Amino acid sequence: MPWTVHGFRDLIVGRNRFIRDQSVPGGCGMRPKTKPTDYWSTPEYFYRLIREEFDPQIDVCANINNAKCVNFFTEGMNALDLDWIKGAEGLGVKPVFWCNPPYSRIEPWVRKAWEVSHQGGKTIMLLPASTDTIWFHAFILPYASWRPIKGRIHFDAPPGLKISGPRAGNQIAIFGHHDGIQRTYHVTRSHAELRPPKRDQ
């Protein structure tokens, strides 16, 4: 049976369940003018590590081509305006969220993840390694667990587009989770692993 929370309805599309409000234009909280890079998909070889450790239940910024979770917020809505916690409650899943946001508009997404963490939610974010930005120093550094990524992730291109190769590095930020353990993701073109920091003897 479909469920509704503030007018958002859960539909079934193949194996994937997604929340959608057709009255909301745009997608994923993006601006009307987006860049092709906003639709790059997290490769499975990297996301596997996230799934094994955190088991995210809802991809909050996705479409049917790049969703990493069975449940996801689609482009037919503005996820930045949704109540993520109530969405998880409506689906009967843990409030653990995955977010690979549009890189043309990052600040609203880290702010949203920070707000959700105060409501008991956990959000794992794949972000550019832009440690010189205002959003990094305002939200990531003081409020999130931060994990650097050694190497560059080779993202998956959306249908009809071609990616020449990674242009910059990335980082993982986790809101609502602080285990005090320093770890680094090591990635190559087709492999990723999570390692503790190497210390000098």
Residues 104, 168, 188: CA angle, nearest 5 degrees: 130
Kindly tell me the burial class for residue 132, based on how many C-beta atoms sit within 10 Å of its own C-beta (0-12, 13-18, 19 or more): exposed
* Per-residue model confidence (pLDDT) at position 18: 42
Taking the C-alpha atoms of residue 18 and residue 39, their distance in angstroms, rounded to an integer, is: 17
The reported pLDDT for the residue numbered 27 is 37
Question: Which segments of the chain have a pLDDT < 70?
Answer: 1-40, 157-166, 197-201
For 4-195, CATH gives 3.40.50
The pLDDT, as a whole number, for residue 95 is 98
Q: Are 147 and 172 in contact (CB under 8 A)?
A: yes
Q: What is the pLDDT of residue 39?
A: 64
Q: What is the pTM of this model?
A: 0.78
Beta strand ranges found along the chain (DSSP E): 4-5, 8-13, 16-20, 58-59, 71-73, 96-99, 122-128, 144-150, 170-175, 184-187, 192-195
Q: What is the pLDDT at residue 20?
A: 38
Q: Return d(Cα 7, Cα 191) in angstroms, integer.
A: 41
Q: Where are the domains of the chain?
A: 4-195
Query: How high is the pLDDT of residue 34?
Result: 53
Which two structure tokens, joined as six digits, stand for 37?
């890079």
